[in-house]
Structure 1
Amino acid sequence: MRKPADMFDRDYEWSVLTRFVQDEQPGATLGVVSGRRRQGKTFLLEGICQAAGGFYFGATEAADAESLRRIGAALTEYVRPASPFHFHGWAEVIDALLGLGRERPIPVVIDEFPYLAKANPELPSIIQEALRPLRAQRTSSRTRLLLCGSALSFMGRILSGNAPLRGRAGMDLLVRPLDYSLAAKFWEITDPKLALRVHAIVGGTPAYRREFARGDVPAGPADFDDWVIRTVLNPETPLFREPRYLLAEEPELRDPALYLSVLGAVADGNATRGGIANYLERKSPDIAHPITVLGDVRLLSRDVDVFRENRPTYRITEPLILFYHAIMRPVWDQLERPGSAGRVWQASRRRFAANVLGPHFEQICREWALHYAEPDLFDGLPATVGHGVVHDSGTRTNHEVDVAVIGVSDRGKPPLLAIGEAKWNDVMGAGHIERLRRIKEILARQGKFDVGRTKLLCFSGAGFNEKAREAAHSGEVVLIDLPMLYAPATR
């Protein structure tokens, strides 16, 4: 099936849906599509239905009886039967949807399924019964039923544990934000430094360019500050209040103030559970639940220290949320006053560089090492790319490693393929390389990793001096600048 001409990328998602929808095997099948709002799930599913002549129904927050009337009216318009559909329960609805696939494989989409399940908690069990293996209505149908939802906490449970639909689905697709390289293409930004600064604020959510910023893209590096002022910090634009709405739209976040405070603690540099608890003046067990829920809705990531597995740290995964907590939330009252954005941004630029750009650059470097580095850069396939702290017992000092690339273990010590340092604003030189060499020596003495083929990676947003470039000729040191990080975007 031909992908819509105005759909950017999403080639992988389109191919997964196409294979599922066009599967000729007999018997109705179930697929699940999830992802945060604004990622283009509805656009994908409507496109699939248009290409394959399928049926699409978008649920809304409504009482059960109203939803039954709405889907009956939608199905009547689609099928155009002699008499309109009047459903008395969801079992009748599901059987009618299965009936659509008697002649051929056909996609049937129920979008925002969590709204329906909230009004009628028995709905997943009803679908389970309708898709019972030997049931005649299922075996005689080739309906490809797609349940879609943006409530990630709910959608994450729909196929897990003892959930009624566990084992019933033949496809489970998560629609993620565009990664940093694809986001640069989507925003049509060719300057890598500008692309990273924009991505550090709006991330890879497609709707933020098309709908929320109304296509407003920075005209160049010199326009970046004005772009921030007229879009993200402008109370008249949807982007201004979007970070608050992202939390409000998650049904599992019943105490928004607590979750906002947890995110605020992480944005302020409190990356450990103990640090978050101290910031909130609570005991560590008291924040276990909000941390878990924020992880379930993919707003918070638990990153394991690759050198000390019992020392995890937490990271905000949505750039706009981090930007809001680091820049906007502390001065919200000022920002709500028209005309204040310029003054606020001027005073916040240093904080933006330290609390937003720096950590974001480090994460981009880790993503590059895992997904985009040339195959021959490392002497082996990366299995894990993370960060951590190396403790030197001799000097009783700790050394932070921004990028650590660990390979696949083959009956021995796991190979440490590379360690790296990432500096957004610093021109890197021999001192940075010597520091990495010392860390490599410490790791060799500790004996946990095989460091025989460890390379030293220097990532910089400001460039490298001559001594660093000379060291790179040895092959032990690899220098990665912004154009190299964004090379995938130019392919």
Structure 2
Amino acid sequence: MTTPFIGRSRELGELNRRYQSQKAEFMILYGRRRVGKTRLITHWMEMAKPRAFFWIAAPTSSVDQLRSFSQAVFRFESQSQPPADMSYGDWPTAFEALARLAEKERLAVIVDEFTYLLEAEPAVSAYLQHAWDHSLSKSNLFLILSGSHLGMMHRQVLSYQAPLYGRSTANLLLQPLPFGVTHSFYPNYSADERVAVYAMLGGVPAYWERFASERNLTQNIRSEFLNYSASLHDEPRLLLADFLRDPHNYISIFRAIANGARTPKEIAGFSGLEEKHIPQYLSVLTETGFITRRVPVTKPPTSRLGRHFIADPFLRFYYRFLARRQSQLALGVEEQALEEIKRHLLDFIGTYTWEELCQEWLLRATGHVHLPFLPDQVGSAWTRKAQVDVVGINSMEKTLILGECKWSPKAMGRDVLDGLVQKTAEFVPSEGRWRVYYLGFARGGWLREAQSYAKTFEKTNVQGENWTAIGLSILDLSQVDQDLRDWSESKDNGGEIVF
């Protein structure tokens, strides 16, 4: 049974707008494997019913690809079956045939898995560039190139040196779905269960389809993570293969970071790799987007307090809980892995996913809830003495938001909020006079004493040497869940569109 299409209203609207344009349009659609690029395109075609030519490249030879493309063009144009050996003489001729199809009537041409074509025929991007410059850009064409091999898409399509650089009229990086739409996919799951799913799978729709909503969380973990034959076990290798020819040392770095190593020195100590080589490995992994270097948002990007994290939730979960247990899982020994997941999942979610969702709440809160000021940067912050989970800063206006996140199922007391306020001096920049606002996020809610404290906080006149506290708000999981649900539906920021 086909799962329902969820979200992506912004991207669907952009596809409609480009198709309805009065000029030739050229969109590059790219994103990580399994994020839903093909599903987005096919759903748009079902809903908008454009005049469209859709072709998927396959991992085969250039001759086979050209023959397949040529015959698809012939079938579209003549509405009849071509001879088995029919093929245009070369790719420039095939592209000229497309231009003829779009001379008088609007035509959407979608070339999916474009990177397979690039692998077999690297010169195809130069052929396409020539065709675009001389004929396709003068036709009534809406061209979409879609690809998952991010390294190749960057090098041969998007980079300054690529033949197609500057030709596209829109580049759309399709992002994973936000947490706020999980309620549509898992209507039978509670909010904390959906947070757990998001901690394991992130926002990748194809992974969500593996976690059946009619099974409980433990059943899904057993079926899709602890069952060695499950397809999800192949995903880390496939994801890294899009960028790396020899991933062995990089996998060691993933394992190190998943187990708490944050600096090059710590990563070298855990992985056994020479420390002098770690920065280069980290640079490559940062380019993939799977690893990120974060600095306190109150510090400049060059801060020596930078730490490395696995940005992709699925890879983060896999290398923390499953990577070192592959031999056990291959032998059918599941219970040890399941017990470790049960024992450490609470801390894992609290350390990563819950903080990230609370940071997302602050990012999305602009225009939806009343906050005394709007940050232009959101993240976390730390010094050698303290850490704050959620920080929003506006350096021009000298305003700061500090937030504490707790993933315990128990209700939190006033001491958590007092502790947050006491950290303020560690994070207020030294220059200027600052206003500070506080946020408390607690999965299990807040005790009455904490609620009373939040209501009367403005009257306490808390201040420091160069800062003044102006307010405090507290939220629980149900409120964060509902807000992210509402805001995801209204904004639906599932992709990044660059013109």
1:437 pairs with 2:421: yes
Amino acid at match of 2:440: C
Number of positions where the alignment pairs a residue of Structure 1 with one of Structure 2: 462
Tell me which residue corresponds to 1:459: 441
What is residue 455 of structure 2 aligned with on the other side? Answer: 473
1:245–1:121 distance in 2 versus 1, CA, 3 Å: closer
Q: 1:407 to 1:308 in 2, by over 3 A?
A: closer
Summarize the Cα distance change of 1:266–1:5 in structure 2 as closer, same or farther, 3 Å threshold.
closer
Aligned to 2:158, what secondary structure does the other structure show? coil
Partner of 2:362: 369
1:404 maps onto 2:391 in alignment: yes
1:20, CA displacement in angstroms?
1.2
Shift in CA distance, 374/29, structure 1 to aligned 2, threshold 3 Å: closer
- Matched residue type, 1:67: Q
Cα distance 1:126–1:400, how it changes in 2: closer, same or farther (>3 A)?
A: same
> Which of 43, 48, 54 is residue 39 of structure 2 equivalent to?
43
* Cα separation, 2, equivalents of 1:280 and 1:190: 38
Q: Say which of 29, 34, 37 aligns to 1:33.
A: 29
Once residues 248 and 190 of structure 2 are traced to their aligned partners in structure 1, the CA distance between those partners, rounded to angstroms, is 38
Matched position secondary structure for 1:382: coil
Q: Is 2:293–2:308's contact at 8 Å kept on the other side of the alignment?
A: yes
2:362 partner amino acid: A
Cα 1:443–1:291 shift into 2, 3 Å: closer
Structure 2 match to 1:258: 249
Instruction: Give distance in 1, aligned partners of 2:182 and 2:153.
Output: 25
Q: 2:92·2:127 contact (CA, 8 Å) conserved in 1?
A: yes
Matches for 1:242-253 after TM superposition, within 5 Å: 242-248=235-241, 250=242, 252-253=243-244
Give the corresponding residue for 1:394.
none
1:178-327 mapped onto 2 (5 Å cutoff): 178-189=177-188, 191-210=190-209, 212-213=210-211, 216-217=212-213, 223-248=216-241, 250=242, 252-309=243-300, 310=303, 311-327=305-321
Q: Which amino acid aligns with 1:31?
A: M
- Counterpart of 2:95? 94
**Aligned-residue offset at 1:280:** 2.3
The 3-state SS of whatever aligns with 1:32 is: strand
Higher relative contact order (CA 8 A, sep 6+): 2
* Counterpart check, 1:359 vs 2:359: no
Kept in 1, the 8 Å contact 2:412–2:447? The answer is: yes
Task: Work out whether 1:485 is the aligned partner of 2:480.
Answer: yes
The DSSP-based 3-state class of the residue aligned with 1:486 is helix
Unaligned residue ranges in structure 2 (runs of 5+): 459-470, 487-499
- Alignment CA distance shift 1:408-1:7 (3 Å): farther
Shift of 1:75: 1.4
Please tell me the residue identity of whatever aligns with 1:403: V
Q: Match for 1:20: what amino acid?
A: R
Q: Are 1:332 and 2:326 counterparts?
A: yes
Distance 2:187 2:276 in 1: 45
Aligned to 2:55: 57
Partners of 1:204 and 1:5 in 2: CA distance = 15
What SS does the aligned partner of 1:406 have? strand
> Matched residues in 1 for 2:395 and 2:189: separation?
35
The match for 1:395 is none
Alpha-carbon shift at residue 5 of structure 1 (Å): 10
Give the CA deviation at 1:243: 3.1
5 Å matches for 1:419-434?
419-425=402-408, 427-434=411-418
| Per-residue deviation, 1:49 | 4.2
Cα RMSD between the aligned structures?
A: 2.4
Which deviations, in whole Å up to 9, do the C-alpha atoms of 1:106-149 show, x marking residues without a partner? 110111111111222222221121122xx3x2354111111110
Shift of 1:97: 1.7
| 193-202 or 311-320, larger mean C-alpha shift | 311-320
Relative to 1, partners in 2 of residues 1:161 and 1:294: Cα closer, same or farther, differing over 3 Å? same
Q: Which amino acid aligns with 2:437?
A: K
1:22 CA drift (Å) = 1.8
What amino acid is the match of 2:174? Answer: V
TM-score by length of 2: 0.86
SS of equivalent to 1:244: helix
- Determine if contact 2:5/2:43 at 8 Å carries over to the other structure: no
Match of 1:149 among 147, 150, 163: 147
| Cα displacement string for residues 216-273 of structure 1 (whole angstroms, at most 9, x for unaligned residues) | 2265xxx32233223322224323433333323x1x2111212211111111111233
CA distance in 1, matches of 2:371, 2:434: 12
Deviation at 1:429, TM superposition (A): 2.1
Once the two structures are superposed, what CA deviation does each residue of 1:386-436 show, in whole Å capped at 9, x if it has no partner?
111145xxxxxx1111110112625xxx421x1011121264322222222
Question: Matched residues in 2 for 1:282 and 1:6: separation?
Answer: 46
Asked whether the 8 Å contact 2:99–2:141 carries over to 1, the reply is: yes
User: 2:371, 2:484 → 1: CA distance?
Assistant: 21
